Chain A
Amino acid sequence: MISLRSLGNIDRKIIFAALFLSVSIPLIFDFRLPNRITKEVRAVYDFIDRLPPESAVLVSFDHDTATLPEMSPMARALLRHLFNRRLRVIGLALRAEGSSIGNGLVHAVAAEYNLQEGMDYVFLGFRPEITSAILGMGENIARVFPKDFRGVPLDEIPLMQTVKNYRQIELIISIADDDTPNYWINYANARYHEAVVPAVTAVMATTYYPFLQEKQIIGMVPGLKAAAEYEQLIGRPGDASVGMSAQSIAHLLILLLILIGNLSYLSARRRR
């Protein structure tokens, strides 16, 4: 008979296997549950939806490949919304790996809408030293990025001939897996009063709630669930929506493990 105490000593390889199955089986059988839209994601969607066409939006790929499974769906959903609204996208990266990630993603999504590089969107590449990059663009983007990712001088790019600094940019989206959005808030928002949206990994979600009240950020897209919400709002379910069933079952498994662990602990404590 399985005792509560023995349930407190499950081999970790069994836990690993159970976790992998809890993620894989829902992916194979793909059942979907309704996904409630949170107010912070809705705020981002509504803000972008209200921007006039041709408005310039800066999208900064401030993450690396480690968090690609979480960041890529939200980046894709946001870019689809921006391009669908005919907004002009200026992509860049403040993390080295974000350069290749961002360049690939911006081009891939722009191709879905038959958009022209240089006119409808541009990818500027990577700049190190976050503070000086963000502060520098507040005065003169071409000074921080003399050329784009392809090596074309910025003064030869039609889009960048009308966008010189933050004054011509309506929104900054930081797709990040660390505290880079803090820098955008501290420098681009506090100094230049730019609207900022952190699209972050779930680990960083609780960091940005204090900024919502005072409108230092206009909304937030935290984690894969928020990415699934955004996919739902734009009417194009993707990887995030597919992953929600697996996310749900895995969470239930972990809660069950915590419950079993605590029951075993309380049982052992009572014996003593």
Chain B
Amino acid sequence: MDSGIWIAAGLTLAIYSFLYRDNPAYKFAEHLLVGISVGYLIVIAFKDTVVPKIIDPLFVHRQWLVLVPVIIGVLMFSRFVSKIAWLSRPALAIYIGFGAGAAIPANMQANILAQIRATVSPFAGIDSIGGAINAVLIAAGLICTLLYFYFSKKHEGVFGKFTRTGIYFLMIFFGATFGFTVMARISLLIGRAGFLLRDWLNIIK
């Protein structure tokens, strides 16, 4: 059998030993994983980004404008020296400003306008009683959920009844999410069990 399978199985069991209790085998595997993951990231970041975005443009195509983001990026390393750590701020500021500017129209379109349209548009094409009930439930539930997140007014009286309904919708959402979370975690266990039983022990064909 492939030595790699044995090593993978050994490391898998070392990590599963944590279920009994924390022990040196688990600690070893955990620290090994961290190291290998960082080593992997260094290689991928260098080959997939540093080479095509920095080295090639500068030394092959002589695109000197690339020096601007390179210098700003190199300044990020000043974070390790507290006296000159402020030099890393421009890089952070550019990155955060870029993200903030891009996020405004994106969120407005995708998370607000489209979602409101999706809530209202079903009323235009109702073709059954079930469809009508669902459309009303969605619209009412959305209003109640949004009202729940309005904390500038005390949740009491009539307002409190709306926010309570919002909580009920949220509880159903959290329950559904929990159900799916269980499903996801079990799927990962199925994968590992399949590996141990099929690839390592050959119990399953």
Interface residues of A (CB under 8 A from B): 13, 16, 19-20, 23-24, 27-28, 30, 66-70, 96-97, 99-100, 125-129, 131-132, 135, 145-147, 149, 185-187, 189-191, 201-203, 205-206, 210-211, 213-214, 216, 222-225, 239, 242-243, 246-247, 250-251, 254
Main SS class of interface, A = helix
Closest chain A residue, CB of each to CB of B195: A69
Check: B115 CB closer than 8 A to any chain A CB: yes
Check: B41 CB closer than 8 A to any chain A CB: yes
| Residues of B in contact, count (CB < 8 Å) | 52
Which residues of chain B come closer than 8 Å to A222, judged between CB atoms? Answer: 180
Q: Do A247 and B114 form a contact, CB below 8 Å, given A16-B19, A69-B188, A190-B109?
A: no
Interface residues of B (CB under 8 A from A): 19-20, 37, 40-41, 44-45, 47-49, 51-53, 56, 95, 98-99, 102-103, 105-107, 109-111, 114-115, 117-118, 121-122, 173, 176-177, 180-184, 186-194, 197-198, 203-204
Which residues of chain A come closer than 8 Å to B99, judged between CB atoms? Answer: 131
In whole Å, how far is A84's beta carbon from the nearest beta carbon of chain B?
Answer: 25
In whole Å, how far is A32's beta carbon from the nearest beta carbon of chain B?
Answer: 14
Which residues of chain B come closer than 8 Å to A126, judged between CB atoms? Answer: 44-45, 48-49
Which of A28, A210, A213, A225 has a CB less than 8 Å from the CB of B183?
A225
Q: Do B187 and A69 have beta carbons less than 8 Å apart?
A: yes
In whole Å, how far is B48's beta carbon from the nearest beta carbon of chain A?
Answer: 4
A189–B194 alpha-carbon span in the complex (Å): 37
Q: Do A246 and B49 have beta carbons less than 8 Å apart?
A: no
Instruction: Jot down 7 A-B pairs with beta carbons below 8 A, ordered by A.
Output: A99-B44, A99-B48, A186-B107, A206-B177, A211-B110, A213-B118, A222-B180
